[in-house]
Amino acid sequence: MKTIPYSRQEIDEEDIAAVTAVLRSDFLTQGPAIKTFELALTRYCGAAHAVAVSSCTAGLHLICLALGLGKGDRVWTSPISFVASANCAFYTGAQVDFVDIDPVTGNMDPDRLEEKLASAQRKKRLPKLIIPVHFSGSSCDMVRISALAQRYGIKVVEDAAHALGAFCKGVPVGACTHSDATLFSFHAIKSITTGEGGAVLVKDPTLAKKLMILRTHGITRDAECMESSSPEKWYYEMQELGYNYRLTDIQAALGISQMKKLDDFIHRRRTLAQRYRQLLAALPLTLPPTDEESAWHLYPVQLTEEASITRSALFDKLRTRGIGVNVHYIPVHLHPYYRRLGFKPGNFPMAEAFYARILSLPLFPSLSEAEQKSVVYRLEELL
């Protein structure tokens, strides 16, 4: 029996040809494909600048550095996310805290944020940066989050690892209308892939320049940016302690090719999500809210009280029947590393209740209608 995975990449002959062409060219890395890929991203999202990096995690690290985070600073993010959204703060010496979620969307709850900000201000413990995460590809309420952040003078970075191709009130996620920066991931199972890869989108040219220098050891070769002038042609300057977080041209070529198919991918994901909504309507499941603007990275359902099976048993039984379900996410604060820092069960009750009932069903562009039917059939049988 062939297993239906919960997600998988979409690679066609065009992608393979694009990568092959780079392999036959002069540049495997630091060549022309990076700029072209960055342009494709800025055109799609409407942001002024895109900085391609080796992963979304690397991008999160760099944006934290570029925004000046360090020891003594605080970052707030969502507990329902991949660990990278929070870990990036620690890389800079900053501390992490979380804002509980809206149990319907799984996204950071602006009401909880408002309360927590008011209380933090009284205790003089305001964060320097907030990182909302667009869970499953559906945008957070960025209008409210950015209004609150502005009121307290806090920076906002969107973790849009799930949300390339999504919109927020008619504007593409990545335009940075309500944030200082937006992060994308091109890991194999995200909206588009470069194998591993990521990008930081920003409006501010100074911030973009800083990110570009930090991704390559803190080195600049641009005479205009140098601190000392030298007539020597070989001269370059290391101005900050940066990293090697570059994307390769091999990866960027795949990214350029994948970007051409992004709209088709999202359209297909949306169609499948609408079909799940119809096919699963009668089952004891809470379905994800309809969001016409979502990129549908995941299809997370929640088992309701009426279900006669536990989430754990349902997960195991689906897996043994060849249905590759998954759980997104174990709340970040409950991982041992975070517990050792003092977080514990009960800290973020909405996130913990969400985690107890959530299950991601298979969703990817090439999921066939027959495969989707067999997912639904197994769910009907077990529920």
Q: Enumerate the active-site residues.
A: 190
Decide: is 333 part of the binding site for ligand PLP (CB under 6 A).
no
Query: Which of 194/372 has CB closer to ligand PLP?
Result: 194
Decide: is 55 part of the binding site for ligand PLP (CB under 6 A).
yes
Q: Are the beta carbons of 363 and 272 closer than 8 angstroms?
A: yes
d(CA 382, CA 310): 10
Cα-flanking dihedrals φ and ψ of residue 323, to 5°? -105, 110
CB of 183 to ligand PLP, least distance (A): 7
Query: Which of 61/74 has CB closer to ligand PLP?
Result: 61
Find the binder of ligand PLP among 19, 22, 56, 252 (CB under 6 A). 56
Decide: is 198 part of the binding site for ligand PLP (CB under 6 A).
yes
Residue 53: its H or E element: strand 49-53
- Alpha-carbon distances of 272 from 95, 138, 187, 279, 291, rounded to whole Å: 40, 15, 21, 10, 13
x/- map, 165-194, ligand PLP, by CB under 6 A: --------------------x-x-------
Nearest to 240 by CA among 215, 223, 222: 215
CB of 84 to ligand PLP, least distance (A): 4
Query: What is the total residue count of the chain?
Result: 383
Q: Are the beta carbons of 53 and 197 closer than 8 angstroms?
A: yes
Query: Which of 97/159 has CB closer to ligand PLP?
Result: 159
Decide: is 161 part of the binding site for ligand PLP (CB under 6 A).
yes
Q: Cβ-count burial of 209 within 10 angstroms (0-12 exposed, 13-18 middle, 19+ buried)?
A: middle
CB of 232 to ligand PLP, least distance (A): 38
- Of 42-50, 81-89, 124-132, 240-248, the window that binds ligand PLP (rule: CB under 6 A) is 81-89
Where do contacts with ligand PLP occur on this chain (CB under 6 A)?
55-57, 81-82, 84-85, 133, 159, 161-162, 185, 187, 198
